[in-house]
A and B are shown apart, each in its own frame.
Chain A
Amino acid sequence: MASRGRCPSLNRLLFTAKYVTLQSRLCVLHRRAQYSTVYSPNDKTFDKILVANRGEIACRVMKTCKKMGIRTVAVHSDVDSSAVHVKMADEAVCVGPAPTSKSYLNMDAIMEAIRSTGAQAVHPGYGFLSENKEFAKRLAAEGVTFIGPDTHAIHAMGDKIESKLIAKAAKVNTIPGFDGVVKTAEDAVTIAQSIGYPVMIKASAGGGGKGMRIAWNDEETRDGFRFSSQEAASSFGDDRLLIEKYIDNPRHIEIQVLADKHGNALWLNERECSIQRRNQKVVEEAPSTFLDPVTRKAMGEQAVQLAKAVKYSSAGTVEFLVDSSKNFYFLEMNTRLQVEHPITECITGVDLVEQMIRVAKGYQLQHKQEEIPINGWAIESRVYAEDPYKSFGLPSIGRLSQYQEPLNLRNVRVDSGIQEGSDISIYYDPMISKLVTYGATRAEALALMEDALDNYVIRGVTHNIPLLREIITHPRFVSGDISTGFLPEVYPEGFKGHQLDRGRCQELLASAAALYVTAELRSHRVLGPQRVTCSPVESSSWELCVELGNELHNVSVTKSGNTFTVLVDEEKVDVSGDWNLASPLLPLTINNTHRMFQCLSRTASGEMVLQFLGTSFKVRVLTKLGAQLNSYMPEKVPEDTTSILRSPMPGTVIAVSVKAGDTVAEGQEICVIEAMKMQNSLTAVRPAKVKSVHCKPGETVGEGDLLVELE
């Protein structure tokens, strides 16, 4: 972890003084980075648009609608009735109960909402009905504009098999592999064998990483087939699958295209989306460190060829896998607005939603290819409500008890659809927001991302900021040496949080001690008239013991003004700050370096949880006497967890594979929990006999609920 002695305001000052030209460029960047905020009302589009989605993307679309003077209609499920996107819209219609199949995928109800509100067009966002040709057809039948490509393009690109054939015909590089529908597990194995392992199995109809599994042998192929077809059925209502050659160690780079109904098409540069976990993107950036202008142009042109080949209109994304020799292969085309579209908007200044709406109305593209710039660098972190310590992220749920986006920082964009008090439920995607930072250079955008993550306050749900911050500061990521296997390669043992070096450890200990003393001193400040005078012990130095992990550190603290001089294991650390005990953010200056801490909790018995460098650390501060006496306190034995299986997350029990009395082998599947549309197989950690089963299929379980007891 580099110790950046940066003071943002000072830096900005230096900029103004020395690099006037750069500064003015930055201003342009700042204005254009999100997307143009000024809209010329000459091109009349629609009066009213219905946004058939929820969460951040619904809010994102509505933002542009508002800019364009278009009235908006939100649809929502009953549990979402006070969601941000509902409050933001001019009108809102409830389309059903919480499960997506009954609300956001409920075409009848959405069609009725369109009719009742008189919306002229529908923006589908991403996911849900965005690539559903049936929906597009029904809209067309009622004369409502679908803000997206025409049905035939959705159809052509939505089918992984057909899309490849078309791509091949359009002279787009494609991955060696098998194109065909897979009916049974044994078929899958035969196909996989003929392609040669490893192979990737995914739903034909699905986009993104959902329903996608990699198999290295016959057994995994059968498993993959089973899971993928189940997920495909539950997410898309279409259980067809696709098997193709899996390219080891690839990068995932995609090209944003924009096309109109008049045969014009543009490419808006690439997005590097290689940092993934379980085939879902985590951190994206634009441009990619890996592409040279020649490769970029080649990829862009192939993407445009494909778009033209399917008479594509609207915004779309052509995904490529790029190997280490910069050979690129067409992966698929997403015929919708992508989750990670903001980074493209940042570097090109084009408002993609605005362009989609214009194109849908039938206007020609406003830009020419040569007018599409790469201005600076943009990074996007997907902030999820999930526990990164469990396979890089298992969903967590809860209510956001405190929530503060780092919008106080310049050049930060946060696309979110939640606010303080929002409930993150098991029904929907657990994404909290997309945090985007941009700067003139990649280093600047990365440094800003660090600050933004440190300033992001999320309480009430477990989140993945620890992981995000580790990724963006990892030497391999910083140098641009990444692939889709980044996470498992860098953290083969699983993610364990930030590993403090000696210096950082001392900073943490010193800050904890200073915070403890601040709280102690505050307890002395009793206000109002007193019958018996309060006479606290006046002291200016404290001898403390701070416990971190299993280690005890002797710490002595002296205070003058707002500065604490702390001796940690005989080394001096200066800590100063404004020491507000109520604020969730604790900005400190440690040895003249600015550090952002967050105090997540502080108890009377000296325990504190501090978020530092993205990771939460548990420390305990005791007085010397307290620490000495603490050694007499008995250790309480925690529950033996190898013989009980608890639900690692809240969700629904899909299948229970054992019953009481069964003998299970190590690694054998015990039950399957579905949460946020992900199926998770829970396995036995050791061979044992099943003592009792406490769950049954269809049951909803909470995190930590007892599922199965082993003997």
Chain B
Amino acid sequence: MAALGVARSSCGLLNGLRTSFRSFSQVKHGAAAGTVTQCSQQNHCRWYSVSHLSVKERIDNKRKAALVGGGQHRIDAQHKRGKLTARERVELLLDPESFVESDMFVEHRCSDFGMEHDKNKFPGDSVVTGRGRINGRLVYVFSQDFTVFGGSLSGAHAQKICKIMDQAMTVGAPVIGLNDSGGARIQEGVESLAGYADIFLRNVLASGVVPQISLIMGPCAGGAVYSPALTDFTFMVKDTSYLFITGPDVVKSVTNEDVTQEELGGAKTHTTVSGVAHRAFENDIDALLNLREFFNFLPLCNKDPAPIRECHDPSDRLVPFLDTIVPFETTKAYDMVDIIHAIVDERDFFEIMPNYAKNIVVGFARMNGRTVGIVGNQPKVASGCLDINSSVKGARFVRFCDAFNIPIITFVDVPGFLPGTAQEYGGIIRHGAKLLYAFAEATVPKITIITRKAYGGAYDVMSSKHLRGDVNYAWPSAEVAVMGAKGAVQIIFRGKENQAEAEAEYVEKFANPFPAAVRGFVDDIIEPATTRKKICRDLEVLASKKQTNPWKKHANIPL
């Protein structure tokens, strides 16, 4: 786990930084504090001199020092980059006055490379931790402070994070990490690495127990990236956040590629190309306010049901819009997001990964106030087919919902899995299996609506009746079949004449919801306009659904 250039350069800067906190003298915070000689003298006598300050004053001074982190000019520099400070972020994220800080007095324990000097000690070190409330609901938060050693991770820093994660686990409340760190505290060496591992372990143990969310608000590089990667959701801030294993310099020296930080690991890269991050926001404020909104959707832990918020949208609202949304020509696309908006409460849909694997749409919404997870094929992109990326995207989302008791509503319009060497060589078989696996193992309420095509294996995958779908509906435009008419006819009537006639016969027989409905594979064929009403009613009943999978140490999803 190499700490990278960012960390190195920021630490270098910090070596020259004269800001220090000293409990024995009243030096203005942020001002240059005398010469090195003076420093070392004071340091030398620190433990032995009798303070003329009372303990209470010392506490106050420490607290004040903790509040300004790396000092005013570091704060100004942070602002100049268009970034907020760790504390400002926490304040904006949480309800006013709700933040309860812990470990404000913790300092790093490194004594090498001059780190033991007072000027290099900052109360609270490079992270702010504690708990608070978002719209009254409990949450644990850590916010890395870039103004202190570039937010680099020391043993103490890691220890602070671990402490609140442990607490979050004992009470059952989510953990939000606001990442803004140059990487490992190189001066601390292995202690820093150990710190990362301690956090990783807790990320893994907490996975599926309490929701974990990472918001990347600055650099996050080297080994540090694995903590966000292990959490349930990773959000980024456009232009000011980066995630990568090794920075552009190392990339250049190893692979000789010329790449900028933004191209290598910026928000755009991770939300469109790599699929590492789930969503990107314009700036710190946008990101934090959206995170508050997002948090409202989540239960506090896996013991809680999906939260229900007061709802003004009538649960029996008819949606005539849906009656005409599916075009008559089966080859013509429409936007699945339009359907989702029309059905859910107040058109409020928090889409996850909106710019990655766009042929599947996933996200959170509410039905009659209750949080639901929505999965839908997107006919507008690549005909809504399933491929490697969309399968993985869908699978991860479904598993999150299942872990946290969030009902899943699936809208199906899928022509099948994407063919081709790129897909086969890339392992579509094992990746496609993930989505199948996720839907099959999920025990939360599952409601499926087939809007149009449900062809082949992809039909089975998309929360079909056969995978324990609780309620499966078909719209009149639904076609459940092994494949499209043309392909089917070419196989059934290979070499025969009258292909067109045969095709028409096939369409007549199979391009409608009846073959599935007569077998009970869909529970009902419904008028699209009534979809919202029906889903709300079903969810009411399914709220008490109890289903358990056979005992196992853990399942073995095809990774």
Using A534-B137, A605-B286 as known contacts, say yes or no to A526 and B307 having CB atoms under 8 A apart: yes
How close is A329's CB to chain B, nearest CB, in angstroms?
A: 46
Residues from chain A with Cβ under 8 Å of B294 in the complex: 604
Is B296 in contact with chain A by the CB < 8 A criterion? yes
Contact residues of A between 97 and 140, Cβ < 8 Å to B: none
Q: Is the CB of A604 within 8 A of B290?
A: yes
Q: Which of B95, B319, B323 contacts A537 (CB 8 A)?
A: B95
Is B88 in contact with chain A by the CB < 8 A criterion? yes
Q: Is the CB of B303 within 8 A of A531?
A: yes
Residues from chain B with Cβ under 8 Å of A535 in the complex: 133, 136
Is A583 in contact with chain B by the CB < 8 A criterion? yes
Contact residues of B between 378 and 437, Cβ < 8 Å to A: none
Stretch at the interface among B54-62, B151-159, B337-345, B515-523: B337-345
Residues from chain B with Cβ under 8 Å of A524 in the complex: 135-136
Residues from chain B with Cβ under 8 Å of A13 in the complex: none
Cα A633 to Cα B80 in complex, Å, equals 9
Is B328 in contact with chain A by the CB < 8 A criterion? yes
Cα A606 to Cα B281 in complex, Å, equals 14
Q: Is the CB of A606 within 8 A of B289?
A: yes
Q: Is the CB of A402 within 8 A of B321?
A: yes
How close is B357's CB to chain A, nearest CB, in angstroms?
A: 23
Is B501 in contact with chain A by the CB < 8 A criterion? no
Using A401-B321, A528-B305, A582-B345 as known contacts, say yes or no to A629 and B92 having CB atoms under 8 A apart: yes
How close is A702's CB to chain B, nearest CB, in angstroms?
A: 13
Q: Which of B173, B283, B341 contacts A532 (CB 8 A)?
A: B173
Using A423-B324, A582-B345 as known contacts, say yes or no to A629 and B285 having CB atoms under 8 A apart: yes
Residues from chain A with Cβ under 8 Å of B314 in the complex: 582
Is A324 in contact with chain B by the CB < 8 A criterion? no
Residues from chain B with Cβ under 8 Å of A581 in the complex: 312, 346
Residues from chain B with Cβ under 8 Å of A583 in the complex: 312
Cα A625 to Cα B282 in complex, Å, equals 18
Q: Is the CB of A421 within 8 A of B325?
A: yes
Contact residues of B between 98 and 157, Cβ < 8 Å to A: 98, 133, 135-138
Is B442 in contact with chain A by the CB < 8 A criterion? no
Residues from chain A with Cβ under 8 Å of B249 in the complex: none
| Dominant secondary structure at the A interface | loop
Q: Is the CB of A534 within 8 A of B346?
A: no
Q: Is the CB of A534 within 8 A of B136?
A: yes
Cα A4 to Cα B79 in complex, Å, equals 48
Q: Which of A401, A526, A625 contacts B341 (CB 8 A)?
A: A401
Is A502 in contact with chain B by the CB < 8 A criterion? no
Is A634 in contact with chain B by the CB < 8 A criterion? yes
How close is B550's CB to chain A, nearest CB, in angstroms?
A: 27
Residues from chain B with Cβ under 8 Å of A536 in the complex: 95, 133, 135-136
Contact residues of B between 2 and 36, Cβ < 8 Å to A: none
Cα A399 to Cα B321 in complex, Å, equals 9
Is A419 in contact with chain B by the CB < 8 A criterion? yes
Using A528-B307, A632-B79 as known contacts, say yes or no to A421 and B171 having CB atoms under 8 A apart: no
Q: Is the CB of A526 within 8 A of B136?
A: yes
Cα A648 to Cα B58 in complex, Å, equals 66
Is B322 in contact with chain A by the CB < 8 A criterion? yes
Using A527-B309, A528-B307, A629-B88 as known contacts, say yes or no to A421 and B136 having CB atoms under 8 A apart: no
Contact residues of A between 372 and 422, Cβ < 8 Å to B: 399-402, 419-422
How close is A607's CB to chain B, nearest CB, in angstroms?
A: 9
Using A531-B304, A537-B96 as known contacts, say yes or no to A401 and B342 having CB atoms under 8 A apart: yes
Cα A81 to Cα B477 in complex, Å, equals 14
The contact string, 1 if C-beta is below 8 Å from chain A, for chain B 258-298, is 00000000000000000000000111111001101110100
Residues from chain A with Cβ under 8 Å of B313 in the complex: 582
Contact residues of B between 200 and 256, Cβ < 8 Å to A: 239
Query: Which chain A residue lies CB-closest to B304?
Result: A531
Cα A44 to Cα B289 in complex, Å, equals 68
Q: Is the CB of B285 within 8 A of A522?
A: no
Is B300 in contact with chain A by the CB < 8 A criterion? yes
Residues from chain A with Cβ under 8 Å of B82 in the complex: 632-634
Is B84 in contact with chain A by the CB < 8 A criterion? yes
Cα A31 to Cα B342 in complex, Å, equals 37
Residues from chain A with Cβ under 8 Å of B172 in the complex: 531-532
How close is A518's CB to chain B, nearest CB, in angstroms?
A: 10
Cα A633 to Cα B98 in complex, Å, equals 24
B: contact size bracket? 35 or more
Residues from chain A with Cβ under 8 Å of B341 in the complex: 401
Cα A377 to Cα B503 in complex, Å, equals 60
How close is B136's CB to chain A, nearest CB, in angstroms?
A: 3
The contact string, 1 if C-beta is below 8 Å from chain B, for chain A 580-594, is 111100000000000
Q: Is the CB of B84 within 8 A of A582?
A: no
Query: Which chain A residue lies CB-closest to B309?
Result: A526
How close is A148's CB to chain B, nearest CB, in angstroms?
A: 32
Is A280 in contact with chain B by the CB < 8 A criterion? no
Cα A399 to Cα B341 in complex, Å, equals 13
Q: Is the CB of A582 within 8 A of B346?
A: yes
Residues from chain B with Cβ under 8 Å of A528 in the complex: 305, 307-308
Query: Which chain A residue lies CB-closest to B324?
Result: A421
Residues from chain B with Cβ under 8 Å of A422 in the complex: 324
Residues from chain B with Cβ under 8 Å of A401 in the complex: 321, 338, 341-342
Residues from chain B with Cβ under 8 Å of A400 in the complex: 321
How close is A554's CB to chain B, nearest CB, in angstroms?
A: 17
Query: Which chain A residue lies CB-closest to B284?
Result: A633
Residues from chain B with Cβ under 8 Å of A81 in the complex: 328
Query: Which chain A residue lies CB-closest to B314?
Result: A582
Query: Which chain A residue lies CB-closest to B326?
Result: A82
How close is A688's CB to chain B, nearest CB, in angstroms?
A: 29
Residues from chain A with Cβ under 8 Å of B328 in the complex: 78, 81-82
Q: Is the CB of B283 within 8 A of A634?
A: yes
Contact residues of B between 76 and 96, Cβ < 8 Å to A: 79, 82-84, 88, 91-92, 95-96
Q: Which of B135, B137, B285, B307 contacts A605 (CB 8 A)?
A: B285
Is A523 in contact with chain B by the CB < 8 A criterion? yes
Q: Which of A399, A527, A580 contacts B338 (CB 8 A)?
A: A399
Using A81-B328, A422-B324, A606-B289 as known contacts, say yes or no to A537 and B92 having CB atoms under 8 A apart: no
Is A525 in contact with chain B by the CB < 8 A criterion? yes
Cα A433 to Cα B406 in complex, Å, equals 43
Cα A537 to Cα B134 in complex, Å, equals 10
Of B82, B137, B281, B313, most buried by chain A (CB within 10 Å of CB) is B137
Contact residues of A between 513 and 557, Cβ < 8 Å to B: 520, 522-528, 530-532, 534-537
Cα A82 to Cα B326 in complex, Å, equals 11
Residues from chain A with Cβ under 8 Å of B285 in the complex: 605, 622, 626, 629-630, 633
Q: Is the CB of B97 within 8 A of A419?
A: no
Q: Is the CB of A523 within 8 A of B173?
A: no
Is B320 in contact with chain A by the CB < 8 A criterion? yes
How close is B474's CB to chain A, nearest CB, in angstroms?
A: 18
Contact residues of A between 622 and 657, Cβ < 8 Å to B: 622-623, 625-626, 629-630, 632-634, 636
Cα A263 to Cα B300 in complex, Å, equals 83
Cα A537 to Cα B98 in complex, Å, equals 8
Query: Which chain B residue lies CB-closest to A399?
Result: B338
Residues from chain A with Cβ under 8 Å of B321 in the complex: 399-402, 420-421
Is B311 in contact with chain A by the CB < 8 A criterion? yes
The contact string, 1 if C-beta is below 8 Å from chain A, for chain B 355-373, is 0000000000000010000
Cα A581 to Cα B314 in complex, Å, equals 11
Q: Is the CB of B308 within 8 A of A526?
A: yes
A-B contact pairs, 30 of them (CB 8 A): A81-B328, A82-B324, A399-B325, A400-B321, A420-B319, A421-B321, A421-B322, A522-B310, A522-B312, A525-B310, A527-B309, A527-B310, A528-B307, A528-B308, A532-B137, A532-B173, A534-B135, A536-B136, A537-B98, A537-B136, A581-B312, A582-B311, A583-B312, A605-B285, A605-B290, A629-B88, A629-B92, A630-B285, A632-B284, A634-B283
Q: A422-B324, A582-B346, A633-B285 are in contact. List 4 more A-B contacts (CB 8 A).
A: A401-B338, A420-B319, A420-B320, A605-B281
Q: What 9 A-B pairs are tightest by C-beta distance, nearest first? A: A536-B136, A604-B293, A582-B313, A634-B82, A525-B310, A421-B321, A582-B312, A421-B324, A534-B136
